[in-house]
Each structure stands twice: as C-alpha cells, then as structure tokens.
Amino acid sequence: MNAQQARELYERYLTRLYVQRDVESMTDFFAPDVVAQPLPAGLPEGVPGLKLMARVWLESFSDIRFTIHSFLYDQGLVAVRLAVTGVHTGSFMGIAPTGRRVEITDHPHFRLHNGKVVEIWDQLDMMSLLQQLGAIPPAVQAA
C-alpha cells in the first residue's frame, strides 16, 4: 500500500462510519484483534470496543464533518491531523445535549497491515471539547 491508497482507505472509513453512520463497516477497516490505545476502561478489546466508542460519538453528535489538514504515511504507519466538527445533540459523558456546534482537533496514528488497521493511537483534544460543551471553564477563566 502506498500513501495515496492509505489516504483513500482512511477517507472511505470516515465516510462509511461518520457520514453513512455504518458502525458495522468498521470490520472492513480494522483487523479483528486491533489494538486501540487509549481504549476507555471497561470497554472490550478490539473492534467490539471501537464499535461501542463509535456509537457513543454518533449518538452524541450529529452533522459530524472532518477536514484533513495533514496526512503522513511511511512504511505502513499513518499520522493524521484533522479538525472534527459536529453538533452536540445527544448526551455525552453525562453532559446533556447543548445544541452547540463544536470543533476539535484530532491526531490519530495507526499502523496498517494487509489493508487494515492493526494498531491505533488517538489523541483527541478532549479538554477543548469539554470546554466547548460548558463542562469545564475555558483555560483563561480557570487561571
């Protein structure tokens, strides 16, 4: 697989999961024994845990959109920097729906083998998300 094929795979994944809202399609993109880091405590390992996380996001945020700002590929390793936007229309982490449009930065990194993700690390800007939802004060106010 080359960089262009890897990017096309990632874009198909985003479309199928978040635009078409097809959680079951995750098996097309992730190896059954994928290692996800970090995976919240209490979730099952592998694709079942990733599906549960995806359902939470899909139930909590509507109109999810992605803008890929950078995509790096080297020998099966991928690093992405993207902006994620959506509207908070469902309960998320105990936070009642606010109707607010949010925008956060995400930095997923993953390793591909035979056209599937076998390991993924995701660094989502949760602090910014929680601030935008009003769950914690903005950093300026907190200081």
Kindly report the three-state secondary structure assignment for every residue of 71-101. EEEECCEEEEEEEEEEEECCCECCECCCCCE
Locate 5 and state its tokens.
């094929």
pLDDT score, position 38: 79
Three-state secondary structure call for residue 114:
coil
> Cα dist. 102→14, 36, 84, 109 in Å?
18, 25, 8, 22
* 60 phi/psi in degrees, rounded to 5: -95, -30
Q: Is the peptide bond before 40 cis (omega within 30 degrees of 0)?
A: no
**CATH of region 3-132, choose from 3.10.20.600, 1.25.40.10, 3.40.800.10, 3.10.450.50:** 3.10.450.50
* 46 phi/psi in degrees, rounded to 5: 70, -155
pLDDT score, position 24: 96
| Segments in 2-138 forming alpha helices (H) | 3-14, 26-29, 46-60, 126-132
pLDDT score, position 3: 94
pLDDT 10s per residue in the chain (143 long)? 899 999 999 999 999 999 999 999 999 999 999 999 877 888 899 999 999 999 999 999 999 999 999 999 999 999 999 999 999 999 999 999 999 999 999 999 999 999 999 999 999 999 999 999 999 987 765 55
